[in-house]
Structure 1
Amino acid sequence: MLTRTYRFTKGRTMTTLEGKVAIITGARRGIGRAEALTLAGAGAKVVVCDIVFDDEMTSLQDEIAAAGGESLAFACDVTKKDDIDHVVAQTIATYGRVDILVNNAQTGLTPVPWEELSDKLFTQSFESGPLASFRFMQACFPYMKAQGWGRIINTSSGASRGGVPNFGHYAAAKGAIASLTYAAATDWGQYGITANVIYPAILTPALKGYLEAEPSRRAEMEARVPVRYVGDPLDDLGPIVLFLASDASGYLTGHPFFVDGGAGQGPR
Protein backbone atom coordinates (compact mmCIF):
# COMPACT_ATOMS: atom_id res chain seq x y z
CA MET A 1 0.00 0.00 0.00
CA LEU A 2 1.05 3.59 -0.68
CA THR A 3 1.34 5.72 2.42
CA ARG A 4 3.76 8.54 1.66
CA THR A 5 2.19 11.95 1.09
CA TYR A 6 3.69 14.65 -1.13
CA ARG A 7 2.49 18.20 -0.50
CA PHE A 8 2.40 20.94 -3.07
CA THR A 9 1.40 24.60 -3.24
CA LYS A 10 -2.30 25.57 -3.00
CA GLY A 11 -2.80 22.71 -0.58
CA ARG A 12 -2.51 20.06 -3.25
CA THR A 13 -1.45 16.56 -2.31
CA MET A 14 -0.62 13.66 -4.56
CA THR A 15 -1.23 10.56 -2.53
CA THR A 16 -3.83 11.57 0.03
CA LEU A 17 -7.36 10.79 -1.11
CA GLU A 18 -8.94 11.09 2.32
CA GLY A 19 -12.59 12.07 2.00
CA LYS A 20 -12.76 11.07 -1.68
CA VAL A 21 -15.03 8.39 -3.15
CA ALA A 22 -13.97 6.37 -6.19
CA ILE A 23 -15.86 4.03 -8.50
CA ILE A 24 -13.76 1.42 -10.30
CA THR A 25 -15.31 -0.82 -12.97
CA GLY A 26 -13.90 -4.21 -13.93
CA ALA A 27 -12.34 -4.34 -10.46
CA ARG A 28 -12.48 -8.06 -9.74
CA ARG A 29 -9.00 -8.87 -10.99
CA GLY A 30 -5.96 -7.59 -12.86
CA ILE A 31 -5.71 -3.88 -13.59
CA GLY A 32 -9.03 -2.93 -12.00
CA ARG A 33 -8.18 -4.75 -8.78
CA ALA A 34 -4.81 -3.00 -8.55
CA GLU A 35 -6.48 0.37 -9.12
CA ALA A 36 -8.98 -0.32 -6.35
CA LEU A 37 -6.28 -1.37 -3.89
CA THR A 38 -4.17 1.66 -4.75
CA LEU A 39 -6.94 4.22 -4.31
CA ALA A 40 -8.17 2.55 -1.12
CA GLY A 41 -4.60 2.51 0.19
CA ALA A 42 -4.45 6.27 -0.33
CA GLY A 43 -7.54 6.82 1.77
CA ALA A 44 -10.40 6.83 -0.73
CA LYS A 45 -13.62 4.94 -0.12
CA VAL A 46 -13.88 2.66 -3.14
CA VAL A 47 -16.92 1.29 -4.92
CA VAL A 48 -15.90 -1.74 -6.95
CA CYS A 49 -17.98 -3.51 -9.55
CA ASP A 50 -17.62 -6.30 -12.06
CA ILE A 51 -19.89 -8.45 -14.17
CA VAL A 52 -20.13 -11.07 -11.42
CA PHE A 53 -19.87 -10.96 -7.64
CA ASP A 54 -17.76 -13.95 -6.66
CA ASP A 55 -14.98 -15.03 -4.30
CA GLU A 56 -12.53 -12.70 -6.03
CA MET A 57 -14.73 -9.70 -5.23
CA THR A 58 -15.09 -10.86 -1.64
CA SER A 59 -11.33 -11.29 -1.29
CA LEU A 60 -10.80 -7.81 -2.74
CA GLN A 61 -13.09 -6.31 -0.12
CA ASP A 62 -11.37 -8.35 2.59
CA GLU A 63 -7.96 -7.08 1.46
CA ILE A 64 -9.17 -3.49 1.48
CA ALA A 65 -10.70 -3.90 4.94
CA ALA A 66 -7.56 -5.58 6.33
CA ALA A 67 -5.57 -2.50 5.34
CA GLY A 68 -8.04 -0.20 7.07
CA GLY A 69 -9.98 0.80 3.97
CA GLU A 70 -13.67 0.93 3.17
CA SER A 71 -15.50 -0.41 0.13
CA LEU A 72 -18.80 -1.27 -1.48
CA ALA A 73 -19.02 -4.00 -4.11
CA PHE A 74 -21.63 -4.72 -6.78
CA ALA A 75 -22.26 -7.06 -9.64
CA CYS A 76 -22.63 -4.78 -12.65
CA ASP A 77 -23.10 -5.68 -16.29
CA VAL A 78 -21.79 -2.48 -17.84
CA THR A 79 -23.76 -3.13 -21.05
CA LYS A 80 -26.93 -2.47 -19.01
CA LYS A 81 -27.72 1.14 -18.18
CA ASP A 82 -29.88 0.16 -15.22
CA ASP A 83 -26.91 -1.62 -13.61
CA ILE A 84 -24.72 1.44 -14.08
CA ASP A 85 -27.35 3.79 -12.66
CA HIS A 86 -27.78 1.46 -9.69
CA VAL A 87 -24.05 1.53 -8.85
CA VAL A 88 -23.91 5.32 -8.97
CA ALA A 89 -27.17 5.72 -7.03
CA GLN A 90 -25.98 3.38 -4.28
CA THR A 91 -22.66 5.23 -4.13
CA ILE A 92 -24.46 8.51 -3.56
CA ALA A 93 -26.90 6.97 -1.10
CA THR A 94 -24.06 5.53 0.97
CA TYR A 95 -21.34 8.16 0.73
CA GLY A 96 -23.14 11.27 -0.53
CA ARG A 97 -20.62 11.97 -3.27
CA VAL A 98 -18.50 10.56 -6.08
CA ASP A 99 -15.13 12.12 -6.87
CA ILE A 100 -13.21 9.64 -9.00
CA LEU A 101 -14.36 7.35 -11.80
CA VAL A 102 -12.04 4.73 -13.25
CA ASN A 103 -13.56 3.02 -16.30
CA ASN A 104 -11.75 -0.25 -16.80
CA ALA A 105 -14.39 -2.82 -17.86
CA GLN A 106 -14.34 -4.11 -21.44
CA THR A 107 -15.32 -7.25 -23.33
CA GLY A 108 -14.14 -8.38 -26.76
CA LEU A 109 -10.68 -9.39 -25.56
CA THR A 110 -10.40 -12.37 -27.92
CA PRO A 111 -8.85 -11.83 -31.36
CA VAL A 112 -11.17 -12.65 -34.24
CA PRO A 113 -10.19 -12.82 -37.94
CA TRP A 114 -11.80 -10.05 -39.94
CA GLU A 115 -13.84 -12.41 -42.11
CA GLU A 116 -15.37 -13.89 -38.96
CA LEU A 117 -16.01 -10.62 -37.16
CA SER A 118 -19.75 -10.24 -36.62
CA ASP A 119 -21.95 -7.22 -36.07
CA LYS A 120 -22.88 -8.74 -32.71
CA LEU A 121 -19.29 -8.91 -31.43
CA PHE A 122 -18.51 -5.45 -32.79
CA THR A 123 -21.58 -4.04 -31.05
CA GLN A 124 -20.77 -5.83 -27.78
CA SER A 125 -17.30 -4.31 -27.81
CA PHE A 126 -18.79 -0.84 -28.09
CA GLU A 127 -21.54 -1.46 -25.54
CA SER A 128 -19.06 -2.67 -22.90
CA GLY A 129 -16.38 -0.10 -23.72
CA PRO A 130 -17.16 3.43 -24.93
CA LEU A 131 -20.92 3.29 -24.33
CA ALA A 132 -20.48 1.96 -20.79
CA SER A 133 -17.76 4.52 -20.08
CA PHE A 134 -20.03 7.29 -21.39
CA ARG A 135 -22.94 6.11 -19.25
CA PHE A 136 -20.86 6.00 -16.07
CA MET A 137 -19.40 9.42 -16.86
CA GLN A 138 -22.81 10.90 -17.54
CA ALA A 139 -24.24 9.42 -14.32
CA CYS A 140 -21.36 10.80 -12.22
CA PHE A 141 -21.15 14.19 -13.93
CA PRO A 142 -23.90 16.07 -12.03
CA TYR A 143 -22.32 15.24 -8.65
CA MET A 144 -18.81 16.15 -9.75
CA LYS A 145 -20.07 19.38 -11.32
CA ALA A 146 -21.99 20.37 -8.19
CA GLN A 147 -18.93 19.91 -5.97
CA GLY A 148 -16.55 21.54 -8.47
CA TRP A 149 -14.12 18.61 -8.47
CA GLY A 150 -13.83 15.31 -10.31
CA ARG A 151 -11.40 12.90 -11.88
CA ILE A 152 -12.25 10.68 -14.86
CA ILE A 153 -9.69 8.00 -15.75
CA ASN A 154 -10.60 5.97 -18.82
CA THR A 155 -8.79 2.94 -20.20
CA SER A 156 -7.77 2.57 -23.83
CA SER A 157 -5.23 0.15 -25.32
CA GLY A 158 -2.21 0.15 -27.56
CA ALA A 159 -4.25 -2.12 -29.81
CA SER A 160 -6.27 0.94 -30.83
CA ARG A 161 -3.15 2.23 -32.60
CA GLY A 162 -2.59 -0.92 -34.67
CA GLY A 163 0.06 -3.59 -34.43
CA VAL A 164 -2.17 -6.28 -32.89
CA PRO A 165 -3.64 -8.76 -35.43
CA ASN A 166 -7.36 -9.54 -35.64
CA PHE A 167 -8.49 -6.98 -33.08
CA GLY A 168 -10.63 -4.71 -35.25
CA HIS A 169 -13.59 -4.77 -32.85
CA TYR A 170 -11.48 -4.16 -29.75
CA ALA A 171 -9.25 -1.55 -31.40
CA ALA A 172 -12.23 0.47 -32.60
CA ALA A 173 -13.86 0.40 -29.16
CA LYS A 174 -10.68 1.45 -27.39
CA GLY A 175 -10.06 4.23 -29.90
CA ALA A 176 -13.57 5.55 -29.26
CA ILE A 177 -12.88 5.60 -25.50
CA ALA A 178 -9.88 7.86 -26.09
CA SER A 179 -11.95 10.25 -28.22
CA LEU A 180 -14.70 10.28 -25.61
CA THR A 181 -12.12 11.23 -22.98
CA TYR A 182 -10.78 14.14 -25.02
CA ALA A 183 -14.31 15.43 -25.63
CA ALA A 184 -15.15 15.32 -21.91
CA ALA A 185 -11.90 17.10 -21.07
CA THR A 186 -12.89 19.91 -23.42
CA ASP A 187 -16.32 20.44 -21.90
CA TRP A 188 -15.85 19.52 -18.25
CA GLY A 189 -12.60 21.24 -17.32
CA GLN A 190 -14.49 24.44 -16.49
CA TYR A 191 -16.17 22.55 -13.64
CA GLY A 192 -12.97 21.32 -12.04
CA ILE A 193 -13.31 17.88 -13.64
CA THR A 194 -10.34 16.37 -15.44
CA ALA A 195 -10.54 13.49 -17.92
CA ASN A 196 -7.49 11.49 -18.96
CA VAL A 197 -6.94 8.15 -20.65
CA ILE A 198 -4.39 5.44 -19.86
CA TYR A 199 -2.87 2.94 -22.26
CA PRO A 200 -1.60 0.16 -19.99
CA ALA A 201 0.68 -2.69 -21.06
CA ILE A 202 0.69 -4.53 -17.77
CA LEU A 203 1.23 -8.08 -16.54
CA THR A 204 -2.37 -9.06 -15.80
CA PRO A 205 -3.27 -12.63 -14.76
CA ALA A 206 -4.49 -13.32 -18.30
CA LEU A 207 -1.29 -12.06 -19.89
CA LYS A 208 0.82 -13.92 -17.33
CA GLY A 209 -0.94 -17.17 -18.19
CA TYR A 210 -0.35 -16.59 -21.89
CA LEU A 211 3.35 -15.82 -21.41
CA GLU A 212 3.93 -18.81 -19.14
CA ALA A 213 2.29 -21.22 -21.59
CA GLU A 214 5.41 -21.03 -23.77
CA PRO A 215 8.85 -20.46 -22.15
CA SER A 216 10.03 -18.17 -24.94
CA ARG A 217 7.05 -15.81 -24.95
CA ARG A 218 7.99 -13.67 -21.95
CA ALA A 219 11.56 -13.12 -23.08
CA GLU A 220 10.37 -12.18 -26.57
CA MET A 221 7.84 -9.71 -25.20
CA GLU A 222 10.26 -8.14 -22.72
CA ALA A 223 12.83 -7.72 -25.50
CA ARG A 224 10.37 -5.40 -27.25
CA VAL A 225 9.95 -3.21 -24.16
CA PRO A 226 12.68 -0.57 -23.70
CA VAL A 227 12.78 -1.01 -19.92
CA ARG A 228 13.03 -4.79 -20.52
CA TYR A 229 10.20 -5.94 -18.27
CA VAL A 230 6.41 -6.02 -18.34
CA GLY A 231 4.93 -3.76 -15.69
CA ASP A 232 3.19 -4.89 -12.51
CA PRO A 233 -0.40 -3.64 -11.96
CA LEU A 234 0.24 -2.36 -8.43
CA ASP A 235 3.84 -1.20 -8.63
CA ASP A 236 3.87 0.32 -12.10
CA LEU A 237 0.28 1.28 -12.96
CA GLY A 238 -0.95 2.06 -9.44
CA PRO A 239 1.13 5.23 -8.90
CA ILE A 240 0.04 6.69 -12.27
CA VAL A 241 -3.64 6.13 -11.52
CA LEU A 242 -3.16 7.56 -8.04
CA PHE A 243 -1.56 10.69 -9.49
CA LEU A 244 -4.38 11.16 -11.99
CA ALA A 245 -6.95 10.71 -9.21
CA SER A 246 -5.31 13.27 -6.94
CA ASP A 247 -5.22 17.03 -6.51
CA ALA A 248 -1.73 17.08 -8.01
CA SER A 249 -3.02 16.34 -11.52
CA GLY A 250 -5.49 19.22 -11.55
CA TYR A 251 -3.76 21.02 -14.44
CA LEU A 252 -3.66 17.92 -16.65
CA THR A 253 -6.70 16.98 -18.71
CA GLY A 254 -7.31 15.47 -22.13
CA HIS A 255 -4.01 13.59 -22.08
CA PRO A 256 -3.04 10.02 -23.01
CA PHE A 257 -0.75 8.23 -20.56
CA PHE A 258 1.17 5.30 -22.02
CA VAL A 259 2.00 3.04 -19.08
CA ASP A 260 3.92 0.56 -21.16
CA GLY A 261 7.64 0.76 -20.40
CA GLY A 262 8.19 2.75 -23.59
CA ALA A 263 6.83 0.04 -25.88
CA GLY A 264 4.20 2.31 -27.41
CA GLN A 265 6.64 5.12 -28.20
CA GLY A 266 4.04 7.79 -27.52
CA PRO A 267 0.88 8.76 -29.42
CA ARG A 268 0.36 8.51 -33.14
Structure 2
Amino acid sequence: MLNEKVAIITGASRGIGAATAALFAKHGAKVVVNYANNVSAAEEVVTSIRENGGQAIWVQADVRNEDDMSSLVDQTISHFGKVDILVNNAAINFAMKSFSDMEWDEFRLKLEEEMKAAFISTKSVLPMMKEQKYGKLVYISSGLSHQPLPGFIAHGTAKAAMNSFVRYLAQELGPYNITANTVAPGMVDTDATKHTPAEEKEKTAMFTPLGRIANPEDVARAALFFASDQSAFMTGTYAPVSGGMEMNS
Protein backbone atom coordinates (compact mmCIF):
# COMPACT_ATOMS: atom_id res chain seq x y z
CA MET A 1 0.00 0.00 0.00
CA LEU A 2 2.90 2.38 0.77
CA ASN A 3 5.63 0.42 -0.98
CA GLU A 4 8.92 2.32 -0.91
CA LYS A 5 7.22 5.55 0.13
CA VAL A 6 9.12 7.61 2.72
CA ALA A 7 7.09 8.95 5.65
CA ILE A 8 8.03 11.45 8.36
CA ILE A 9 5.79 11.08 11.42
CA THR A 10 6.15 13.79 14.04
CA GLY A 11 5.69 12.86 17.69
CA ALA A 12 6.03 9.18 16.82
CA SER A 13 7.61 7.78 19.97
CA ARG A 14 4.28 6.85 21.58
CA GLY A 15 0.49 6.85 21.24
CA ILE A 16 -1.05 7.64 17.86
CA GLY A 17 2.34 8.48 16.32
CA ALA A 18 3.93 5.17 17.32
CA ALA A 19 0.92 3.20 16.08
CA THR A 20 1.05 5.12 12.77
CA ALA A 21 4.78 4.46 12.36
CA ALA A 22 4.29 0.71 12.95
CA LEU A 23 1.32 0.49 10.57
CA PHE A 24 3.02 2.47 7.79
CA ALA A 25 6.12 0.28 8.05
CA LYS A 26 3.98 -2.86 7.95
CA HIS A 27 2.52 -1.56 4.68
CA GLY A 28 5.94 -1.00 3.12
CA ALA A 29 6.83 2.59 3.99
CA LYS A 30 10.29 3.69 5.10
CA VAL A 31 9.54 5.54 8.32
CA VAL A 32 11.22 8.42 10.11
CA VAL A 33 10.21 8.35 13.78
CA ASN A 34 10.48 11.90 15.09
CA TYR A 35 10.63 12.52 18.84
CA ALA A 36 11.23 15.56 21.05
CA ASN A 37 12.70 14.16 24.30
CA ASN A 38 12.07 10.46 24.77
CA VAL A 39 14.86 8.78 22.82
CA SER A 40 14.38 5.37 24.43
CA ALA A 41 10.69 5.28 23.40
CA ALA A 42 11.65 6.29 19.83
CA GLU A 43 14.35 3.58 19.77
CA GLU A 44 11.77 1.02 20.90
CA VAL A 45 9.41 1.95 18.05
CA VAL A 46 12.23 1.71 15.48
CA THR A 47 13.59 -1.56 16.90
CA SER A 48 10.12 -3.11 16.78
CA ILE A 49 9.66 -2.00 13.15
CA ARG A 50 13.06 -3.43 12.16
CA GLU A 51 12.40 -6.71 13.98
CA ASN A 52 9.24 -7.04 11.89
CA GLY A 53 11.19 -6.55 8.66
CA GLY A 54 10.48 -2.86 8.17
CA GLN A 55 12.78 0.11 7.62
CA ALA A 56 12.92 3.00 10.10
CA ILE A 57 15.20 5.55 11.73
CA TRP A 58 14.64 7.86 14.68
CA VAL A 59 15.45 11.59 14.53
CA GLN A 60 15.23 14.10 17.37
CA ALA A 61 13.66 17.44 16.40
CA ASP A 62 11.45 20.09 17.95
CA VAL A 63 8.71 20.48 15.35
CA ARG A 64 8.43 24.19 16.23
CA ASN A 65 12.08 24.82 15.33
CA GLU A 66 12.99 25.57 11.70
CA ASP A 67 16.60 24.40 11.99
CA ASP A 68 15.56 21.16 13.69
CA MET A 69 12.99 20.35 11.02
CA SER A 70 15.32 21.32 8.19
CA SER A 71 17.92 18.95 9.66
CA LEU A 72 15.29 16.19 10.05
CA VAL A 73 14.34 16.48 6.38
CA ASP A 74 18.02 16.52 5.34
CA GLN A 75 18.65 13.35 7.37
CA THR A 76 15.56 11.72 5.84
CA ILE A 77 16.73 12.50 2.31
CA SER A 78 20.31 11.38 2.94
CA HIS A 79 19.03 8.13 4.47
CA PHE A 80 16.03 7.30 2.27
CA GLY A 81 16.45 9.59 -0.76
CA LYS A 82 13.15 11.50 -0.65
CA VAL A 83 10.09 12.50 1.38
CA ASP A 84 6.61 11.43 0.23
CA ILE A 85 4.47 11.69 3.36
CA LEU A 86 4.26 13.95 6.40
CA VAL A 87 2.03 13.03 9.33
CA ASN A 88 1.75 16.12 11.54
CA ASN A 89 1.00 14.47 14.87
CA ALA A 90 3.28 15.92 17.58
CA ALA A 91 1.25 16.87 20.65
CA ILE A 92 1.46 20.45 21.91
CA ASN A 93 0.66 21.00 25.58
CA PHE A 94 -2.19 23.30 26.58
CA ALA A 95 -3.78 24.88 29.63
CA MET A 96 -6.89 22.90 30.52
CA LYS A 97 -9.11 25.66 31.90
CA SER A 98 -12.39 27.39 31.29
CA PHE A 99 -12.36 30.64 29.34
CA SER A 100 -13.18 32.53 32.55
CA ASP A 101 -10.08 31.16 34.30
CA MET A 102 -7.70 31.47 31.36
CA GLU A 103 -5.20 34.24 30.74
CA TRP A 104 -4.55 35.45 27.20
CA ASP A 105 -0.94 34.28 27.28
CA GLU A 106 -1.99 30.71 28.17
CA PHE A 107 -4.52 30.70 25.33
CA ARG A 108 -2.15 32.37 22.85
CA LEU A 109 0.64 29.91 23.63
CA LYS A 110 -1.38 26.89 22.50
CA LEU A 111 -2.62 28.59 19.33
CA GLU A 112 0.83 29.81 18.43
CA GLU A 113 2.69 26.55 19.17
CA GLU A 114 0.08 24.34 17.45
CA MET A 115 0.14 26.43 14.29
CA LYS A 116 3.90 26.91 14.40
CA ALA A 117 4.38 23.12 14.50
CA ALA A 118 2.05 22.58 11.53
CA PHE A 119 3.49 25.54 9.61
CA ILE A 120 7.19 24.70 10.07
CA SER A 121 6.77 20.94 9.57
CA THR A 122 4.88 21.55 6.32
CA LYS A 123 7.35 24.18 5.06
CA SER A 124 10.24 21.78 5.66
CA VAL A 125 8.89 19.00 3.41
CA LEU A 126 7.34 21.10 0.63
CA PRO A 127 10.42 21.80 -1.52
CA MET A 128 11.01 18.06 -1.98
CA MET A 129 7.31 17.30 -2.54
CA LYS A 130 6.92 20.12 -5.08
CA GLU A 131 10.04 19.01 -6.93
CA GLN A 132 8.82 15.42 -7.26
CA LYS A 133 5.24 16.57 -7.96
CA TYR A 134 3.94 14.23 -5.26
CA GLY A 135 3.15 14.51 -1.59
CA LYS A 136 0.75 13.39 1.11
CA LEU A 137 0.19 15.72 4.07
CA VAL A 138 -1.85 14.28 6.95
CA TYR A 139 -2.74 16.33 10.04
CA ILE A 140 -3.97 14.86 13.32
CA SER A 141 -6.63 17.20 14.68
CA SER A 142 -9.35 16.54 17.27
CA GLY A 143 -13.12 16.24 17.42
CA LEU A 144 -12.88 18.97 20.06
CA SER A 145 -12.30 21.41 17.20
CA HIS A 146 -15.99 20.92 16.32
CA GLN A 147 -17.56 19.69 19.53
CA PRO A 148 -16.69 21.76 22.61
CA LEU A 149 -16.13 20.15 26.00
CA PRO A 150 -15.45 22.06 29.22
CA GLY A 151 -11.78 22.92 29.75
CA PHE A 152 -10.67 22.33 26.15
CA ILE A 153 -11.13 25.83 24.70
CA ALA A 154 -7.42 26.38 23.97
CA HIS A 155 -6.96 22.91 22.45
CA GLY A 156 -10.20 22.95 20.43
CA THR A 157 -9.64 26.46 19.06
CA ALA A 158 -6.04 25.67 18.06
CA LYS A 159 -7.11 22.50 16.27
CA ALA A 160 -9.93 24.39 14.51
CA ALA A 161 -7.32 26.86 13.22
CA MET A 162 -5.30 23.92 11.93
CA ASN A 163 -8.37 22.47 10.18
CA SER A 164 -8.73 25.71 8.25
CA PHE A 165 -4.98 25.84 7.52
CA VAL A 166 -5.19 22.35 5.95
CA ARG A 167 -8.01 23.38 3.61
CA TYR A 168 -5.94 26.34 2.41
CA LEU A 169 -2.96 24.04 1.83
CA ALA A 170 -5.15 21.63 -0.12
CA GLN A 171 -6.31 24.45 -2.37
CA GLU A 172 -2.83 25.86 -2.98
CA LEU A 173 -0.91 22.60 -3.35
CA GLY A 174 -3.35 20.68 -5.55
CA PRO A 175 -1.57 21.71 -8.78
CA TYR A 176 1.61 20.04 -7.47
CA ASN A 177 -0.24 16.74 -6.88
CA ILE A 178 0.13 17.24 -3.12
CA THR A 179 -2.89 16.40 -0.98
CA ALA A 180 -3.62 17.70 2.52
CA ASN A 181 -6.18 16.00 4.76
CA THR A 182 -7.22 16.06 8.40
CA VAL A 183 -7.90 13.10 10.69
CA ALA A 184 -9.87 14.07 13.79
CA PRO A 185 -9.99 11.51 16.60
CA GLY A 186 -12.52 11.53 19.37
CA MET A 187 -11.31 10.23 22.74
CA VAL A 188 -8.37 7.83 22.26
CA ASP A 189 -6.92 5.40 24.78
CA THR A 190 -3.32 6.72 24.99
CA ASP A 191 -0.88 8.20 27.53
CA ALA A 192 -2.61 11.53 26.97
CA THR A 193 -5.84 10.16 28.46
CA LYS A 194 -4.33 7.90 31.13
CA HIS A 195 -5.41 10.38 33.82
CA THR A 196 -8.95 10.57 32.46
CA PRO A 197 -11.22 8.84 34.99
CA ALA A 198 -12.44 5.40 33.93
CA GLU A 199 -16.07 6.53 34.45
CA GLU A 200 -15.54 9.31 31.90
CA LYS A 201 -14.13 6.87 29.35
CA GLU A 202 -17.04 4.51 29.97
CA LYS A 203 -19.54 7.34 29.62
CA THR A 204 -17.96 8.39 26.31
CA ALA A 205 -18.05 4.77 25.10
CA MET A 206 -21.72 4.54 26.09
CA PHE A 207 -22.61 7.57 23.94
CA THR A 208 -20.52 6.34 20.99
CA PRO A 209 -22.53 4.42 18.36
CA LEU A 210 -19.72 1.85 18.03
CA GLY A 211 -19.72 1.36 21.79
CA ARG A 212 -16.08 2.08 22.69
CA ILE A 213 -13.43 4.78 22.59
CA ALA A 214 -10.71 4.68 19.94
CA ASN A 215 -7.37 2.96 20.26
CA PRO A 216 -4.29 4.44 18.53
CA GLU A 217 -4.53 1.90 15.69
CA ASP A 218 -8.00 3.19 14.74
CA VAL A 219 -6.50 6.61 14.10
CA ALA A 220 -3.41 5.16 12.40
CA ARG A 221 -5.61 3.31 9.88
CA ALA A 222 -7.30 6.55 8.84
CA ALA A 223 -3.88 8.22 8.50
CA LEU A 224 -2.75 5.26 6.35
CA PHE A 225 -5.69 5.79 4.01
CA PHE A 226 -4.84 9.47 3.50
CA ALA A 227 -1.12 8.69 3.14
CA SER A 228 -1.79 6.07 0.47
CA ASP A 229 -2.94 6.37 -3.13
CA GLN A 230 -6.29 4.92 -2.07
CA SER A 231 -7.20 8.56 -1.34
CA ALA A 232 -5.63 9.98 -4.54
CA PHE A 233 -8.62 12.20 -5.37
CA MET A 234 -9.32 13.40 -1.83
CA THR A 235 -7.89 16.62 -0.46
CA GLY A 236 -9.06 19.19 2.06
CA THR A 237 -11.06 16.46 3.80
CA TYR A 238 -11.90 16.49 7.51
CA ALA A 239 -12.39 12.89 8.64
CA PRO A 240 -13.70 12.18 12.15
CA VAL A 241 -12.43 8.96 13.72
CA SER A 242 -14.86 8.91 16.59
CA GLY A 243 -16.95 5.76 16.31
CA GLY A 244 -19.86 7.90 15.13
CA MET A 245 -19.71 10.50 17.93
CA GLU A 246 -19.20 13.32 15.47
CA MET A 247 -21.80 12.72 12.81
CA ASN A 248 -23.09 16.19 12.11
CA SER A 249 -19.86 18.04 11.39
Q: What band does the TM-score fall into relative to the shorter chain?
A: over 0.9
Q: 1:84 aligns with which of 44, 69, 94?
A: 69
The equivalent residue for 1:247 is 229
The equivalent residue for 1:206 is 192
Give secondary structure in 1 for the equivalent of 2:196: helix
The equivalent residue for 1:232 is 215
1:141 paired with 2:141, answer no
The equivalent residue for 2:244 is 262
Quote the offset at 1:220 in angstroms: 1.1
Q: Tell which deviates more after alignment, 46-55 or 60-69.
A: 46-55
Indicate if the aligned counterparts of 1:105 and 1:128 stay in contact, CA closer than 8 A. Answer: no
Q: How far, CA to CA, are the matches of 1:80 and 1:119 in structure 2?
A: 23
Q: Tell which deviates more after alignment, 124-133 or 177-186.
A: 124-133
Deviations 1:172-212 (A, max 9, x none): 21011101100010011111111000101222233244244
Q: How far, CA to CA, are the matches of 1:57 and 1:144 in structure 2?
A: 25
State the AA in 2 paired with 1:188. L
Indicate if the aligned counterparts of 1:106 and 1:125 stay in contact, CA closer than 8 A. Answer: no
Indicate if the aligned counterparts of 1:17 and 1:42 stay in contact, CA closer than 8 A. Answer: yes
Give secondary structure in 2 for the equivalent of 1:112: coil
The equivalent residue for 1:4 is none
Give secondary structure in 1 for the equivalent of 2:184: strand
Q: 1:128 to 1:37 in 2, by over 3 A?
A: farther
State the AA in 1 paired with 2:178. I
Indicate if the aligned counterparts of 1:106 and 1:128 stay in contact, CA closer than 8 A. Answer: no
Q: 1:90 to 1:145 in 2, by over 3 A?
A: same
State the AA in 2 paired with 1:219. E
1:18 paired with 2:3, answer yes
1:189 paired with 2:171, answer no
Q: How far, CA to CA, are the matches of 1:237 and 1:157 in structure 2?
A: 11
Indicate if the aligned counterparts of 1:196 and 1:253 stay in contact, CA closer than 8 A. Answer: yes
Counterparts of 1:1-268 in structure 2 under 5 Å?
16-201=1-186, 202-212=188-198, 216-234=199-217, 236-267=218-249
Q: What is the number of equivalent residue pairs in this alignment?
A: 248
Ranges of 4+ aligned residues in structure 1 off by more than 3 Å: none
The equivalent residue for 1:5 is none
Quote the offset at 1:107 in angstroms: 1.6
Gaps of 5+ in 2: none
Tell me the TM-score normalized by structure 1.
0.87
Q: 1:170 to 1:191 in 2, by over 3 A?
A: same
Q: How far, CA to CA, are the matches of 1:22 and 1:69 in structure 2?
A: 13
Give secondary structure in 1 for the equivalent of 2:13: coil
Q: Tell which deviates more after alignment, 138-147 or 101-110.
A: 101-110
Give secondary structure in 2 for the equivalent of 1:61: helix
Deviations 1:124-179 (A, max 9, x none): 31343222111111111111111111100011111112421122221221011101
Indicate if the aligned counterparts of 1:27 and 1:36 stay in contact, CA closer than 8 A. Answer: yes
State the AA in 1 paired with 2:221. P
Quote the offset at 1:109 in angstroms: 4.1
Indicate if the aligned counterparts of 1:35 and 1:241 stay in contact, CA closer than 8 A. Answer: yes
